[in-house]
Amino acid sequence: MRHFLSTADLTRDTALGLFALAADLKQRRKAGQHSEPLAAKTFALIFEKASLRTRVTFEVGVIQLGGRAVHLVGRDIGLGTRESVPDVARNLSLWVDGIMARVYSHATITALARHATVPVINGLSDLEHPCQALADFFTLWERGLDFGTMRLAWIGDGNNVCHSVMILGALLGASIVVACPPGYEPDAGVQATVRRLGGRLEITEDARAAATGADVLYTDVWTSMGQEAEQEQRLEAFSRYQLNETLVDFAKSSALVMHCLPAHRGEEITDAVLDGKRSIVLEQAENRLHAQKAVMLRLLGGSVDDL
């Protein structure tokens, strides 16, 4: 990989290799083994959107690998306003070894990558959230799930996280079913990509049908950042898509519950499910750190041999 802008940038073997590297990094950290394979390396971290998990896991990840992080707020650097995106990319490439950007428009990420001479990582855009999906499937891989027989049911908005989960699921051979109200389906282009990759994909309006027999139930907020004006409309549209105990009972008794966080408790998911014994949301959150370290290490040419 030169950049990590989409889960479509991966192959099945690349993804599994990143899982193995992330697992090694995680084990070494928990064992108190410290090394600095990215010593003297610096990452620029650009945030147009607010963040908890993305900011902390990238900053801490860079530090744990021996590098340094420079935090840049979009409004301060005037990304695309005060200064064009290509000029920002060209200038940052003179000073840093990698760029992570969490932005509104996916076009911003692709423009950064097109004009940068250093690796660019998509920390979130309106089209995809590849780092989240990588951490999610790493979490399931750690749990020992067989992707080839796994049924993952996405309940709710066909949003950016859903897109990345769909694509990576296709690469890994998982069966993905997305349940959403009319008008909130995943992007048609992303659906085409999934099918081109040979993915087993089903889109339905029936949340119970999607959940039936599922190994994994996944949901996300109904109203994402930038969609606040649509909140009332969305609350009404998604009212039948709450991940609650009744819906969970349609899945396998061993089914796991996922959420990328932050959660709007009482809307897309209930407290009982989010905090219940099936929930692995905190494992997902923890694994953002290790999966992203694996991506940074791989993009900058490092390997487990450097640890």
Per the residue annotation, which of 220, 242, 290, 292 is the catalytic one?
220
Residue 141 C-beta-side C-alpha neighbours within 13 Å? 22
Segment (H or E) for 278: none
Backbone angles phi, psi at 20, to 5 degrees: -65, -40
Backbone angles phi, psi at 47, to 5 degrees: -125, 105
Q: What is the pLDDT of residues 199-227, one digit of tens each?
A: 999 999 999 999 999 999 999 999 887 77
Per the residue annotation, which of 132, 191, 242, 284 is the catalytic one?
132
The span from the CA of 48 to the CA of 112, in Å, is: 14
Domains of the chain: 7-129+288-297 (3.40.50.1370), 144-279 (3.40.50.1370)
Q: What is the pLDDT of residues 147-179, one digit of tens each?
A: 999 999 999 999 999 999 999 999 999 999 999
Specify whether 195 is catalytic. Answer: no
Q: Is 234 left (phi over 0), alpha (psi -120 to 50) or beta?
A: alpha
Number of Cβ atoms within 10 Å of the Cβ of 55: 17
Specify whether 162 is catalytic. Answer: no
Whether the full predicted model's pTM is greater than 0.75, yes or no, is yes
Q: What tokens does 22 get?
A: 């992330």
Specify whether 102 is catalytic. Answer: yes
The span from the CA of 14 to the CA of 299, in Å, is: 12
Q: Cis omega before residue 262 (within 30°)?
A: yes
Give the pLDDT band (50/70/90) at residue 197.
very high
Per the residue annotation, which of 64, 234, 260, 292 is the catalytic one?
260
- Residue 144: is its pLDDT beyond 90? yes
Q: For position 302, what pLDDT does the model report?
A: 67
Per the residue annotation, which of 53, 106, 129, 151 is the catalytic one?
129
Rg (CA), the chain: 19
- Residue 119 vs residues 40, 77, 87: alpha-carbon distances, Å: 16, 20, 16
